[in-house]
């Protein structure tokens, strides 16, 4: 039973660790999404400036191209993070399933042990009751013979 408790504790720690890893990936993804939002705002500002100052229009094309490439790189990073998160989520389901199986085994063993203990307690009480009954009967017989 002790080794089963250890396995359960180990599985729980694995589930927790995997969840922490998923959380790290989600935080990284959120950071990338914020970066994309910031880039979109910056692009909008530069577009407005290029509209106001025609001499800046020549530089805007290069700037927009760099922003587009950076956005593509960030989208690729996000896609890879999503793949990693999906793989970790599948692993969490697998480990959690194993954890539940171990907990079911533990519960069944515990119920069986409790049933066995009740059976032993009942047998012991029956024995005590039988001995008490025998002693009383002997006592009555002695009293009747005297």
For residue range 78-102, list pLDDT tens digits in order: 999 999 999 999 999 999 999 999 9
> Is residue 78 packed enough to be buried (19+ CB in 10 Å), middle (13-18) or exposed (0-12)?
middle
What is the number of domains present in the chain? 1
**pLDDT tens for the 146 residues of the chain, in order:** 578 899 999 999 999 999 999 999 999 999 999 999 999 999 998 888 888 877 777 777 888 889 999 999 999 999 999 999 999 999 999 999 999 999 999 999 999 999 999 999 999 998 999 999 888 888 888 887 76
- Cβ distance 92 to 61 under 8 Å? no
Residue-range definition of the domain harbouring residue 39: 2-145
Full-model pTM: 0.72
């Amino acid at each position: 039973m002790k080794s089963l408790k250890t396995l359960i504790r180990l599985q729980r720690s694995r589930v927790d660790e995997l969840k922490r890893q998923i959380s790290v990936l989600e935080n990284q993804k959120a950071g990338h999404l914020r970066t994309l939002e910031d880039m979109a705002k910056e692009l909008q500002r530069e577009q407005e400036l290029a509209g106001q100052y025609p001499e800046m229009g020549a530089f805007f094309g290069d700037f927009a191209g760099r922003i587009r490439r950076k956005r593509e790189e960030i989208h690729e990073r996000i896609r890879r993070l999503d793949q990693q998160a999906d793989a970790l989520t599948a692993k969490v389901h697998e480990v959690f399933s194993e954890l539940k199986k171990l907990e079911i085994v533990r519960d069944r063993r515990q119920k069986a042990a409790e049933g066995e203990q009740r059976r032993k307690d009942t047998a012991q009480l029956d024995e005590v009751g039988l001995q008490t009954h025998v002693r009383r009967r002997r006592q009555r017989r002695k009293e009747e013979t005297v």
